[in-house]
Amino acid sequence: MSLNELKLRPATPADVPVLFELIKALAEYEKLSDAVTGNLASLETHLFGESGSDRSNFRPIAEVIIAEFADKPVGFSLFFHNFSTFLTQPGIYIEDLFVLPEYRGQGIGKQLISYVAQLAVSRNCGRLEWSVLDWNEPAIGFYQHIGASVLDEWRICRVTGDSLSNLASGQKL
């Protein structure tokens, strides 16, 4: 495979079904298939607005870049803006970066992350961030190779489901 044959482009509403299949492939790789509880309609609504509605004033929750090789979707990066109070600048957080296993090791992941980094620079963002599972040594090595710092001193905190509802209502957990 030649990287000259690789095409990176923003996702469109027509990409939602294939994107959802890539998300399920990512979940399978991460041994988290049971965690995929979303659906196509919800994905489309949050990325592009409700199907059939006027999308002209819609502000997406997240953005997606699709990687295609020979017109076949082989990977994606889903990301959104965040904000650094210390830098007083926006940033970009990559929620997911995924390349199908048979296409790994060919520079596609690096091209995807570079594309998002270019967006971050063009949007005057102060940083680009993402998380990686602690057992995913190949990904950790890749990220360190491209210049990322793995911050061992930070931990992700997450509230979901009933705990989120209880917290929102002020109930003790």
- So which residues are the catalytic ones? 143
- Looking at residue 172, its pLDDT comes to 66
Name the DSSP class of 160. -
pTM of the predicted model, to two decimals? 0.92
Residues 6+ away with beta carbon under 8 Å from 2:
none
Q: What mean pLDDT do residues 83-98 have?
A: 97
- Looking at residue 51, its pLDDT comes to 82
Task: Specify whether the CB–CB gap between 79 and 95 falls below 8 A.
Answer: yes
Q: What is the chain's mean pLDDT, rounded?
A: 93
Using pLDDT thresholds of 50, 70 and 90, give the confidence band for residue 117. Answer: very high
Q: What mean pLDDT do residues 56-74 have?
A: 94
Please tell me the CATH code under which domain 3-130 is placed: 3.40.630.30
- Looking at residue 89, its pLDDT comes to 97
pLDDT score of 171 more than 90: no
Show me where the domains of the chain are located.
3-130
Using pLDDT thresholds of 50, 70 and 90, give the confidence band for residue 173. Answer: low
- What span, in angstroms and rounded, lies between the C-alpha atoms of 117 and 54? 30
- Looking at residue 23, its pLDDT comes to 98
